[in-house]
Structure formats: C-alpha cells, structure tokens
Structure 1
Amino acid sequence: MNYAFRKMLFAATVAISSAPNIASADGGSISIAVAENPQQLDPMRSANAPDILLHGQLYARLLHRDSTGTLSPGLAESWTISEDGKTYVFTLRDAVFADGSPITAEDVVFSLDRTLNHPESAYPAPLSAIESLEAKDAKTVSIALKSPNAPFLGNLEVFNASIVSKTDVEARGEEEAFAKPLSSGAFMVDSWDRNSSIQLVKNPKYYRDGAPNLDSVEYRIVEDANTRVSLLKAGEVNAVEGVPYANIAELRDAGFEVPLEASTKTQIILMNHDNPPFDDVRVRQAAVMALDRVAIAKAVTQGLVTEVANSSLPGALNFHSQDDAALPYDPAQAKALLEDAGAVGAEVTIIQVSGSQVSQQIALLTQALWSQVGLNAKIEQLDSAAFRTRRKTERDDWHAAPAWYYNETLDPDLAVRWAVCGTCGSNAFHTGYRNETVDTLTEEALSETDVAKRAKLYAEIQQISTNEVVHIPLYYPPFTNAYASDVEGLFMTPAFQWTLEEAKRK
C-alpha cells in the first residue's frame, strides 16, 4: 500500500534554477496541537519526531523540497558533479541568517561536519558517504565522497543537514545557541515553554521571496489525542496532529478536513535484542507468529487500513520487495518455537506512550495474543520523553514497545540505516539488532549506481532482517491530521514536515 505516494509527492527531480518566487505574504497565524513535546532544537543532536517538525521550519539546507515534493535549489543555487560521481561543488546564493549575517561556505562546512563527526550526533547516517568538506571561498563548498552515492543530493535536504551559524554557535556556546537558535529558515523561535508550547514568528530575512505567508505559528503540546480533538472542535487550534481513527468520521461530519495524508510511516513493535527472551531469534519469530496482524490493523485503524506490512521497511520506498513476506499468523507454531527456546512463561514488559490511543491499543492486543501462546506481558505507560529515554538508555528494563518511524526520502538507504543497520548510528532503531551481512550490504547498496543491482541488494537486506525479526511489522499508516476550514495550503508531507511556508489563513 502506498497511498498514491509515488503520484503525489517526492518526485525525484532536481531543477537547477533560482529560488522560486511564491505568493506574497498574507499574514495571520496558525495554531497546531501536536502530540509530543519537543526536546532539542539542535538539528545535530536529535532524530526524534517532535524535534524534526521544528528543524524543518527553523533551518534552511543546501537543497529545498517544496510542498509538491520537488527537490530544487536551496541555499545552493547551483552545483556540479565530477565524472566519477565523487566530488560535488556547490555555489551558494546570497542569503543571510535572521540577524542579517551572511550564510557562508564556512557555515555549511561547520554544520555538516557537526552532524557527521560530532560525538553526540544523533543521526550521522545521511551524511556518512562524505570523505571531506572544504570551503573553497565564501560562496563555494566542495564535498568529496568516499564512493559514488545514489541518494546523496536528496540527503542534503534531510532535517539534520540544516545550516546553522558557525559564528553564533561558537560565540554563545551550543547550549545557549540552540535554546533560541539563530534561524536560517522560514521561521524563528519567539518563545518556548518546554511543557506547553513553542511560538514561531516569520523570519523576514528568509531567502525565499514571499515566504512564509504566515506571521506566526504556535505549536501547542497536547499529548492526549482526545484533548487535541476537543481543542480543534472548540476552535482553539487550527490543526491537530494524529487524530484517533475513532474520531475521523465525526470530524469529517462536522466539516473538518481529515485527508489521510500519504506517508512513509511504518507501524511496528520494537523488540529489545539485548534483553532475554528476545535475544533469541526463535522467541522473536514466535512473537510475530502469535499476532494476527490483519486483525490488529483493522481494529486499531477502524478498518481504514487493512493491508499489513510485509517488512519493517516502509512500503512506499523504491526497491521495496513484495516477495519477502513477514512470518504468518500461526499460534501453534509460535507455541512450538517458544517451547524449543525454553521460553514458555517468559515475563516481558511492553512500554508504551501514554496518551497515544494507537500505542495503547497495540499494546493491549499484543499482550492478549502473546498470553495465548505463553508469553506473559505486562504494560507500562510512560510519557513521551521517558519512553524515549527508557528505550535508548535503560536497555535491561524493557522488552517490547509499539512505535513507528518514517523515511525522509523515497530512497531506502536512510530507512535501512535507521531501522536495521546495527553499525549506522541508531543501533537498529535502538533495538540492538546486529547482523554483519546486513551492515555490509547497506554500504554496498549505498554506492551501487546500477538500479537492478541496487534492487537486488535491498531485497536481500529486507529478506534477512525480516526473517530474523529485527522488529514486528504491523501496517503502513497514513498521517491522520485534521484541519479547520479557515486554513489553506497546510498539510504534512511524507518527509514529516508541515507545509508552513505555503500555508495561510483564508
């Protein structure tokens, strides 16, 4: 299932031209109720969804992806690529930070180097092909790659390829600089109450003529989904993230738009490979085969999604193989696998985000179905910040967790590096899964320019990681955001960004 993704968005085209001149500003403000509290405005230090929603608004990148999905010049107005595909030379346009200081090649080198090499970088994978960075002069950046890299240009538009001010970060220090960052993007931070809201205002010095239309944007943090819906119905916000499936019909009947937007999301259950019993592949396979994933998808989505995921990799991606199906629903075989592994009666802890109806429903259904084959699960609810901390750092204190992730582009490289590669910086989505063959194939696929050979490599990666059950794939969900009728041009792209540069109030 791809929700018309390939037709709608992310056309893999690159137009080398001047920045587009979009509609002149109309003013006004928009308030969006979002599900999770942002923690970090430094694009190098976080790959968490609530932070990514802000990084895309606060920072510009060398390339720009618009609301149609087209990849076009951003801070770089043009570029050349060497014949061997290993050297890219970018020429920067005349652009400035929000304080009026010029955006230079030194800023680009500083920003990309932080993401690639800083010891606290959360997600260096998009830039991992880079061998060296050089500011040849104030407006020219040369990037040398280790080998030809098929998705490289698209990766330069990913959130943590954001360009920050070298002078500002070094002058104020990282902590202060990113508490209220100097913007290179369409919006600036006006105020930030870390527990309730973050207020953005228009950056009048943004390089794209006429953008953004809006004067200000409020992100209101409301973890409870029902409360978000109530705020929309009461007219207190203009849009909400993550409407529960059970509320979609009533909102549509009341005149709100709930378009079920195309996404590259994959709904999964993470398993902790570092903690028994899921360190045993037989137990992981049993955990999959105990779950009626079709019934789970229908129950959680109110019948709106009926096709289950056939792997942990998003179904909308290029080279996604339909031939490698996840293990089938087979409770009898699940019991046999648990008996063979000596894991009948094993106690496991499922952690889930409080306030998320999807997470709660998946946890409850999983608990019930696992109990039928001999896995005894308890559920522990955590707020979003505690959930992320527990999942990443407290490795001996959880076994499974309903979760989701998305891919920034149609190319599968980043999804593979985030979700299944054990040596690519994210520890296979914090599961501890490790397979040397998968890691080697990941690097081979990155530099392979032959389309057929790349497809074969990704099919092998998908087959291995699915059979070894890196995670339990459930289904491929759309975005379930809702919008008031007084908002125009606002939606969420598959790259998990609000189209706030083009949005306006009617």
Structure 2
Amino acid sequence: MKRKYIAPACALAALLISNAASAEELIRIGSPYVTTTLDPIRSASAGNIEAFGQLYARLLRRDPSGQRQPGLAEKWTISEDGMELTFTLRAAKFSNGVPITGDDVVFSLTRAMSDKKSVYSATLAAVERVTAEGRNIVKVKLKYRFAPALDNLEVFNTGIVSKVDVEARGDKAFTDKPVASGPYAVREWRPNDRLILEPNTNYWREGYPKNGGAEFIEVANPNTRVSMLMSGELDAVRDVPWAQLENVGKRDTLRDALEPSTIIYMTLLNERRPPFDNVKVRQAAAHALNVSAITKAMTEGHGTPANTTLPGALDYHAKDLPGLAYDPKLARMLLTEGGYDGKELTMLISAGSDNEKLATLLQAQWTAVGLKTKIEKVDRGVWWERVPAGDYDLAPSWWYNETPDPDLAVRWAICGTCGTHSFHTYYDNPKVNELTEQAVRELEPTKRDALYREIQKISTEEVAQIPLYYPPYANAYAKALEGLSLSPSLQWSLEETVLAR
C-alpha cells in the first residue's frame, strides 16, 4: 500500500511525532469507539476494551484462532475438586523494566474483584481469594466449582498492572504514561482524538510486537472512516457500513472482513411497568416482528436471524430452537388477551443512523398489529442513564459476550438476581436464576448443554428480551497489513501484524 509522502515543510512536525518510530510505521485503525480511560477495571465499553488488550497482559490469552494459550502464566493446574487454580508465572517485566511478580497479579485481580471503581466484577464473582507464594506462584481459590474459571481469567479487566506504580500514583498511573504489561505502551494519548501506542520493549513474547506501533483514531462518521481507508489515511477500520462492504472489497489494495462476533441485536422491554409486565404483551411484541426481514434489511443479508436470547456464537447455543415465529394475527390476539389499552409507548434509541433505521422498521411492524410507539432519540450517555433507571418502554440495542462461555451472557441479559436486573428489563424468573447457578457449577459439558438449553427455551418463550439478529463484525483492512484481525472478544491481533511495504 502506498503512503503519502511528507513534504519538506512538515519535516519538523514529523520528527516530533516519535523517537522510536515514524508516523509511516504506525498501523492506523479508525473506529467509532472512543478511549475514555486506560484503567482496565474502570470501563466495559468497546473502545476501552480494545486498548486494554494491547496494554495489559493477562494470565492467559487467546491466539488469533481463538485457542487458549499461556500468557503471563506459563503453566497452571486445577485441584482435583476444581476449587483451586495454581498458576506459575513466567519471567516477565513491565514496560518500565520492573519484574512482574505474584504480588502484582494478586493486586490486579483483587482490584478487579472488589475495588469500588470496578465496573465489571462479575467476571471474578466466584473467586474467594487470590494469594501469592513467592514471586512466581499465584493461587486462585474459588467459592464453588466454576466451569468458566479459566475463560474469565483472560477477560479484559483481568489485565495485570503494577502494584507499586498504582499505589504510588493513584489515578495518574493510568493517565500519565501507564506502566504496561502487554505488547504495547502508551506513547501519547489525546482524548477525543487518538491513542498512540509504541512497542513495549520489555514484553515477554520475544520478537513481538512485529511492528512499530499503532494509532487508534476516533472517527465517528462511518462514511468518513471508509473514505479515509480508501485514500490511504487509515490502514484498518471498524464497522464498515453493510452497503459499502462490497465496494471496499473490490479495491485492489483493500480487503473486507466479516469476522465472527458474539454480538446479539435485541429489544429491551421494561417489565417493571405495564404493558410489558404482562408476558402476553411481550409475546405479542415478539410475534409482530418479521425477524428475517429485519435482519436482511439491517445487515444486507450478512447477519443471521436470532432464535434465542443468547448470541449464536456462544458455546451451548441452542441452534435448533425455533424462536418466536412471525405471526401478526397471533400478535393481535395476545395484545387483547394481555390487556394492552392502546397507550403510545416510548421507544428509546441512541443517536445514530443504524439505530434510527432499526427503530423505524420495528415501529412499522408494531403499528401493523396495533402496538403504538413513538421514537425518542437521545445521546448515548443519556440512553445509559435512562435505561438503567427504567425510564423507557422499549429500547432496541445490542450487547456482546467477552468469552465463548455463556455464563457471563446469562448473568448480563436474563438472570434477574445477577446484578444487572436482566439488562435493566427486570425480567426475573426464579427457575432461570436457579438454572444459571446450576449451569456454572456443572463441569460436565453434556449436562451444561442441557441446562443452557432450558435457560434459552424459558427466557425466549417468556420474551426476556426480543432477539433480533446475530451480526458478524464488519471490518476492512489494507492488504499491506498481514495478520491483523479482531477476535469475538474485541481483542486485536495487533502484536502479530506485519506492515508490508
């Protein structure tokens, strides 16, 4: 791929960009997802997760094929009763050259578990305590048998930070040159613009990263991102508009990529108040929707219609369950039986063309069966204030799961006692809650499969949410990049990537 030459008048500015690598060597990734913090326990938003994965190594990691591999832990054992995991740390250093020890691991995991600022402690909810024995042995004691224990130890918020540095600098440890344990360190962070990464010269994987660094550049407009990719200003972009994928793929210098994701698009229904406190009205809203047509319209045929309340890419997804059929006649009957009084309901959406398109499709199909809605468009931040507060009737949205294991997905979306009130719908079925705990304690895959199947069957039939579709990630890359991909858990294979000239 050809790059733009720097004119002589810009030479001084170019020299100021970097000591170790020039702007020409940086892999430039354009994304609508912003970086708002570099503290791995403070956020679960997409832009931050992508950054955390480059800055902080974890005990375990997944390779580009999705297979679990050793990370900072070079080996591990699980006790016979499944209640204790023992990790042996490899000889590794932070970006400042200080060795990574068991104390750093204990500090980092305990911080993710119990710090008041931790936003996603659910990943470690089964952990009773973490202890270190010497410099390189870490023991994780569980409260109960926990099938996804290893999976959850490679989630983004379990990245290892420096105990000494964080205790010494507090919040500044994550704003003023964070001490990294992953493949990259921070060269410069310009909030609301870009995060510039440089190789961590002390990274434990010898010979990695295979490039001179990267820029995560915030570009909100999807058409602008694609234009910048086509003009050579970007090397990779997130979220290519579905309608533009084919044109991108026709460029000799570019390749489009539909990459597996654990995303599910669905509609939240507020069950704390009428009419969706009545299961028949929820079922009516689901039967009113032609999910196949919506999927085709929204993804240009690249997505898959959703058949259960869980993402289709997860382990134990019940692919043979039929879902809720499109049946307008039944929808009208259920609305009457459920006592819907014709009240106009508020459909809350966050600003964005895709959200507005989806809301319009939903509204048209609900109107056809007599379910009246009005669309209210708000800023994303306002959406995240109002939905947890229950200030909505319907809210189309999406979510994804951090691991292939379904436990976190169930706890996030359909367990009424697991902390999120079933993604703020207040769906609360005691049987589903009980099955959630049984499934996570069951280590036999066949038995787990049966338990998750029952969870999906109940929650889909009772319409905990209305499942819509499972989309892949729609990304695009310059062919000059070799080895770059995005995993279902929003982790870039950046350290594996070579920039060919």
Structure 1 partner of 2:288: 290
Identity between Structure 1 and Structure 2 (%) = 49
Contact 1:122 1:425 in 2 (8 A): no
Mapping of residues 335-484 of structure 1, within 5 Å? 335-355=332-352, 357-392=353-388, 394-396=389-391, 398-484=392-478
The offset of 1:275, in angstroms, is 4.5
The offset of 1:462, in angstroms, is 0.7
Query: When the two structures are aligned, how many residues end up with a matched partner?
Result: 477
Which amino acid is 1:321 matched to? A
Counterpart Cα distance in 1 of 2:235 and 2:273: 43
1:186 equivalent among 183, 187, 200: 183
The offset of 1:126, in angstroms, is 2.0
Which amino acid is 1:295 matched to? A
Structure 2 partner of 1:138: 135
Structure 2 partner of 1:503: 497
Contact 2:302 2:471 in 1 (8 A): no
Which amino acid is 1:370 matched to? W
The offset of 1:322, in angstroms, is 2.8
RMSD of the alignment, in Å? 2.0
Mapping of residues 257-336 of structure 1, within 5 Å? 257-305=255-303, 307-336=304-333
Counterpart Cα distance in 1 of 2:418 and 2:117: 14
Contact 1:226 1:244 in 2 (8 A): yes
1:302-353: CA deviation from partner (whole Å, max 9, x where unpaired)? 1233x41111211122221134332211112222222233324222222333
Q: TM-score, normalised by structure 1?
A: 0.89
The 1:203–1:252 alpha-carbon spacing in structure 2 relative to 1, beyond 3 Å, is same
1:418-452: CA deviation from partner (whole Å, max 9, x where unpaired)? 22222323332333322222222111111111222
Counterpart Cα distance in 1 of 2:300 and 2:46: 24
Larger radius of gyration: 2
Stretch of structure 1 that moved more, 331-340 or 379-388: 379-388
1:5-37: CA deviation from partner (whole Å, max 9, x where unpaired)? xxxxxxxxxxxxxxxxxxxx9992111111222
1:149-170: CA deviation from partner (whole Å, max 9, x where unpaired)? 2221121111111111222222
| SS of residue matched to 2:397 | strand
The 1:118–1:421 alpha-carbon spacing in structure 2 relative to 1, beyond 3 Å, is farther
Which amino acid is 2:181 matched to? S
The offset of 1:464, in angstroms, is 1.4
The 1:386–1:231 alpha-carbon spacing in structure 2 relative to 1, beyond 3 Å, is farther
Q: TM-score, normalised by structure 2?
A: 0.90
Contact 2:302 2:472 in 1 (8 A): no
Counterpart Cα distance in 2 of 1:502 and 1:58: 15
1:437-492: CA deviation from partner (whole Å, max 9, x where unpaired)? 22221111111112222111111111111112121111111110011122111111
Counterpart Cα distance in 2 of 1:466 and 1:403: 17
The 1:352–1:225 alpha-carbon spacing in structure 2 relative to 1, beyond 3 Å, is farther
Q: Which 5+ residue runs of structure 2 have no aligned equivalent?
A: 1-20
Contact 1:312 1:471 in 2 (8 A): yes
Structure 2 partner of 1:38: 35
Structure 2 partner of 1:212: 209
The 1:405–1:344 alpha-carbon spacing in structure 2 relative to 1, beyond 3 Å, is same
| SS of residue matched to 1:235 | coil
The 1:28–1:313 alpha-carbon spacing in structure 2 relative to 1, beyond 3 Å, is same
Stretch of structure 1 that moved more, 27-36 or 82-91: 27-36
| SS of residue matched to 1:350 | strand
Which amino acid is 1:401 matched to? A
| SS of residue matched to 2:257 | coil
The 1:263–1:318 alpha-carbon spacing in structure 2 relative to 1, beyond 3 Å, is same
Which amino acid is 1:414 matched to? L
Contact 2:107 2:163 in 1 (8 A): yes
Counterpart Cα distance in 1 of 2:52 and 2:499: 23
| SS of residue matched to 2:259 | coil
Contact 1:275 1:395 in 2 (8 A): no
Q: Which 5+ residue runs of structure 1 have no aligned equivalent?
A: 1-24
Which amino acid is 2:485 matched to? F
Contact 1:123 1:425 in 2 (8 A): no
Contact 1:37 1:384 in 2 (8 A): no
1:93 equivalent among 84, 90, 93: 90
Counterpart Cα distance in 1 of 2:72 and 2:373: 50
| SS of residue matched to 1:259 | strand
